Amino acid sequence: MSRHVALGELHRFAADALRAVGMSVEHAGWTADGLVWADAHDLPAHGVSSKLVQCVARVRAGGTDATAPVVPVLERPAYAVLDACDGWGQVAGTDAMRRAVAKAGALGVGAVSVRRTSSAAAMGYYADLAASAGMLGIAVTNGPPLVAAPGGTRRVVSNMGHAVAAPAGEHGRVLYDTATTTMSTGQMDLHRERGEELPEGVLRDAQGEPTRDPSLWSTGLLEPIGGHRGFGLSIALELLTGVLAGGERFGDEVGLPTRHDETQGVSLMMIAVAPAEGVDLAARAQELVDRVVASGPDARTPGLRAVTAAARAEWEGVPYGDEQLERLASLADELDVAPPGVTSPAAR
């Protein structure tokens, strides 16, 4: 039976753990914000019980630098390039989107590339930062190669996490947060943890044969959405991230986050667009959602489940299973910080 952890308690624990491995108060807070956002939006693979543990392991093993600065490489009125110096992705991603929002506030649009960072987790979080400022936000990341070209048998490009978000009035947000494969690696890990087989058609093994074994994703080939179209989208988004950012690595050179002692060389692109004068972005997005909902009894917009989960988590907290809580208790003991407090369903 799952128990619940309040969002504030999750944030406190995550920030304490990150400060314990050397992050500054500000950067620990930014990272905790992103981790808790993921948990609240029902994205546990990017939340506290998964990504926090991974971040701490990478810092301790030397693959990620907890104290790395985010250094401007190029500064133009509407565009910038940042070097994350092998720091944590959520620090660089937050910095980049904040800069993009500031540029959009002055010029109508802002775009910021990031080179040389580690995994930045859920792209929806960064797009949502722009939406919270009344803008349309776009966030894209590359990553380790997971997808082969049509007719190929070697992984050459990532599944390219990407997100678009906008304020939507009474509906809160329109939030599109996805990747270019039929299933994400985080979802595959959840299947593995639960002892479940994968659905058919989402993964091939290293020899190119279909498999339902979720433990094989790190060496196998993820199936792109829409066949060659999904692969083409991956290439387009790699141009927008790794190629444009100008870092040492892109495409099949980006490292796995699970190799804790190795740097990754991830690249990001954060874009914010301020609506033109006289355009009520939130009202128009709300109308768009209304039209979709009215189109059929089961019709819904992207991100509805996640936005609904976040609203519920505000008062109920995040449901955590025993294995997740044990993982965090062990981490708390290792770092000498207080574990997150829990509330049983019967006590609410």
The structural domains of the chain, ordered by start, are 1-61+317-348 (1.10.1530.10), 67-181+224-282 (3.30.1370.60)
Please determine, for residue 289, whether its predicted confidence score (pLDDT) is greater than 60. yes
Residues in a beta bridge with 177:
163
Long-range contacts of 73-80 (CB under 8 A, 24+ apart): 73/115, 73/246, 77/103, 77/106, 77/107, 78/103, 78/107, 78/109, 78/110, 78/111, 79/103, 79/110, 79/111, 79/112, 79/113, 80/111, 80/112, 80/113
Give yes or no for a contact between 4 and 342, defined as CB atoms under 8 angstroms apart.
yes
pLDDT average, residue stretch 171-176: 95
Give mean pLDDT, residues 60-80.
97
293 vs 346, residue with greater confidence = 293
**Number of neighbouring beta carbons within 10 Å of residue 296:** 8
The two structure tokens encoding residue 58: 């990478």
Instruction: Give the mean pLDDT of the chain.
Output: 94
Q: How confident is the model at residue 190 (pLDDT cuts 50, 70, 90)?
A: confident
The whole-model pTM stands at: 0.94
The residues with which 40 forms a beta bridge, in sequence order, are none
β-pairing, 109-117 with 136-141? unpaired
> 303 CB contacts (<8 Å, ≥6 apart)?
124, 165, 173, 174, 175, 176, 177
Would you tell me how many other CB atoms lie within 10 Å of the CB of residue 197?
A: 11
Q: In the predicted model, what is the mean pLDDT of residues 284-296?
A: 96
pLDDT in the model for residue 186: 79
**Could you give the residue ranges of the DSSP H alpha helices within 21-86?**
25-40, 53-61
Radius of gyration over every alpha carbon of the chain, rounded to an integer in angstroms: 20
In the prediction, which pLDDT does 87 show? 97
Cα–chain-centroid distance for residue 36? Answer: 11
Contact indicator for 218, 159 with CB cutoff of 8 Å: no
Which ranges constitute the DSSP H helices of the chain?
7-20, 25-40, 53-61, 89-107, 123-132, 185-193, 228-238, 244-245, 281-293, 304-316, 322-335
> Coil, strand, or helix at residue 155?
strand
> What is the three-class DSSP state of 150?
coil
Residues 273 and 136 sit within 8 Å (Cβ to Cβ): yes
d(CA 34, CA 92): 12
Type of residue found at 326:
E
Residues 6+ apart with CB under 8 A from 239: none
pLDDT surpasses 80 at 2: no
Answer whether 341's CB lies under 8 Å from 318's CB.
Answer: no
Q: Report, as an integer, the average pLDDT of 290-303.
A: 93
Residue 348 has a pLDDT of: 43
138 neighbors 126 (Cβ within 8 angstroms): no
Sorting pLDDT into bands at 50, 70 and 90, what band is 184?
Answer: confident
Residues comprising the chain, all counted: 348
Instruction: Give per-residue pLDDT as tens, 105-150.
Output: 999 999 999 999 999 999 999 999 999 999 999 999 999 999 999 9
pLDDT value, residue 344: 63
